[in-house]
Structure 1
Amino acid sequence: MTRTQRFPVYFVSHGGGPWPWMDDRRAAFAKTVREFAALPQRLPAKPKAVLVITGHWEAPEFRVSTSAQPPMDYDYYGFPEHTYQLQYKAPGSPELAQRVRGLLGDAGIRAGEDPQRGYDHGTFVPLYLMYPDADVPVVLLSMKSSYDPAEHIRAGQALQPLRDEGVLILGSGLTFHNMRGFNQDAATAPATAFEDWLNDAISQPDAAKRNDMLVHWQQAPAARIAHPREDHLIPLMVAAGAAGDDTGHRLFVDHVMKVPMASYEFGAA
């Protein structure tokens, strides 16, 4: 691919649980529905595959999903029965999985494989809205359970060549993930302050400064209020690493459950 065909990189806030299949929640996320559905039109072409780094998969070391037909992973609790029957039948891509492992290995980053790993809601929610026909292969890359921001940025940097190979790299998490804060008036101000800081960080024209800010994210306003545990933030670090020198910007922000949920784009097509 030429430079003009290089794929952008995204971090998306995927919302809570299987909300697209619940009428009241889908209405609350109406802006997210529109924006996710429109995202494929921002790409230079239909991707050959999507590599997802989801806030719902971590392991002691990086791992890559290798199944040709990944199963579903209903990793949520207390939702209507029909949401445990959902199917997103996008194929996997063992070839991309090996390419990911190879790129990480070339950078000195060990990555295992997981032939059983399936699609959690951080994966199938955005992809269902983007590609409802489930006709784009999907591979998942786990976070490393150390949550070391610099290590995840370095992993993203190793994966940059995929952007020139027709692969869409998608980090999926949330800019605010404090279960006790959702739907609480007291959460709005700290969630907004933290997202404003994140937007400033990813918008830095100097990638080194951006990455340094992300490494030290705990110094941001209300950081630990927004993320008592950073599982839903770490996918952003991989996306930022994969962005290379491309500057990020806020793609959109939806206000749901009294907090902002922002999604970011690096290297617009």
Structure 2
Amino acid sequence: MSTNPDTAPSLFISHGAPTFADQPGELGYRLGQLGQMLGSARAIVAVSPHWETNGLRVSSHPSPETIHDFYGFPKELYAIQYPAHGSPEVAKLVVDTLASNGLDAGLDPDRGMDHGVWVPLRYLRPLADIPVICVSLPINSTPDQAWHLGQTLAVLRQYGCLVLGTGSLTHNLAEFRGSNTDQVSPYVHEFANWIEDRIKDGDYDSLLHYRELAPHGQRAHPTEEHLLPLFFALGATSKADRFEVISREVRYGMLSMASYCWQ
């Protein structure tokens, strides 16, 4: 795994269940390796499925709180803090970049980091030494709209801002088994392999229509919010980027932790 020091990467990281916060597994280990190669990024600009709003919002708090937006998990998880700073300066840059491309966004001085953001970041940058700015997903966004959002913010990579989409490559919680297992539902691999192959082929039109074209597309995502950050990360890529798979791990037999890097 390598990174180009001249341009910050675009990443898609599957954050999985909140238990990922203290169960690193293969993905946590690989994120730790990748994080050591990132150098001194100016900021991390992140989109998570756990912040959906009416219209676009951009977090601007200089010291965003660690939000424990999950219920019924071990109490140890609620004590975890990820004390990264925010950056009002970069937040304004994000808003201005969106505005220059016809997208209105407001600054949110109160928003912290939901678990979709801080859980993977605690492995990627355990020292919490890079400012984090969160961008919301407008309610009822489509893959095309998430893609366009990523395209609009792709220029930030040239200014040293890492672009991060964090979600889950499969996310059918009706099939959640409650404990980890080595018995993976076959459809999980079939769907994940289809996504990876389309990315490698540059077949982005098929990706945008995954619900009709991918095997088990609607089973893998009964609702779309956890896959939309993948399209955000893809939109921020360029043809010059090298695509790398960070991990193909599967948890609980149905939750693909597949994660990708473009650099």
- Output the amino acid matched with 1:216: H
Alpha-carbon contact 2:21-2:77 (below 8 Å) kept: no
The match for 1:215 among 200, 208, 218 is 208
Alpha-carbon contact 1:149-1:234 (below 8 Å) kept: yes
Q: Partners of 2:88 and 2:49 in 1: how far apart?
A: 22
Query: CA offset at residue 19 of structure 1?
Result: 3.1
| Residue aligning to 1:149 | 143
| Residue aligning to 1:225 | 219
Query: CA offset at residue 18 of structure 1?
Result: 4.1
The residue correspondences of 1:112-131 to structure 2 (distance < 5 A) are 112-131=106-125
Alpha-carbon contact 2:31-2:246 (below 8 Å) kept: no
Equivalent residue of 1:175, what SS? coil
Equivalent residue of 2:175, what SS? coil
The match for 1:85 among 75, 79, 87 is 79
RMSD over equivalenced CA pairs, Å: 1.9
| Residue aligning to 2:155 | 161
The residue correspondences of 1:176-195 to structure 2 (distance < 5 A) are 176-183=170-177, 188-195=185-192
Alpha-carbon contact 1:63-1:142 (below 8 Å) kept: yes
Q: Partners of 1:58 and 1:193 in 2: how far apart?
A: 29
- Output the amino acid matched with 1:213: S
Gaps of 5+ in 1: none
- Using the aligned pairs only, state the percent identity: 36
Alpha-carbon contact 1:204-1:247 (below 8 Å) kept: no
The superposition leaves residues 190-243 of structure 1 with CA deviations (integer Å, 9 ceiling, x where unpaired) of 1111111110122124xxx42x22221212110111111111100011101100
Q: Does 1:102 align with 2:108?
A: no
The superposition leaves residues 90-129 of structure 1 with CA deviations (integer Å, 9 ceiling, x where unpaired) of 1101111111111111111121221111111111111111
| Residue aligning to 1:263 | 259
Alpha-carbon contact 1:199-1:249 (below 8 Å) kept: no
- Output the amino acid matched with 2:12: F
The residue correspondences of 1:41-80 to structure 2 (distance < 5 A) are 41-43=36-38, 45-80=39-74
| Residue aligning to 1:203 | 200
Equivalent residue of 2:57, what SS? strand
The match for 2:32 among 31, 37, 40 is 37
TM-score by length of 2: 0.90
Alpha-carbon contact 2:21-2:120 (below 8 Å) kept: no
Q: Partners of 1:193 and 1:51 in 2: how far apart?
A: 30
- Output the amino acid matched with 1:215: L
Q: Partners of 2:175 and 2:37 in 1: how far apart?
A: 33
Mean Cα displacement is larger for which, 179-188 or 118-127? 179-188
| Residue aligning to 1:170 | 164
Equivalent residue of 1:55, what SS? strand
Q: Partners of 2:258 and 2:107 in 1: how far apart?
A: 31
- Output the amino acid matched with 2:221: H
- Output the amino acid matched with 1:16: A
Q: Partners of 1:186 and 1:134 in 2: how far apart?
A: 35
Gaps of 5+ in 2: none
Q: Partners of 2:206 and 2:53 in 1: how far apart?
A: 25
- Output the amino acid matched with 1:188: S
- Output the amino acid matched with 2:215: P
Q: Partners of 1:76 and 1:18 in 2: how far apart?
A: 10
Equivalent residue of 2:51, what SS? strand
TM-score by length of 1: 0.88
Alpha-carbon contact 1:202-1:249 (below 8 Å) kept: no
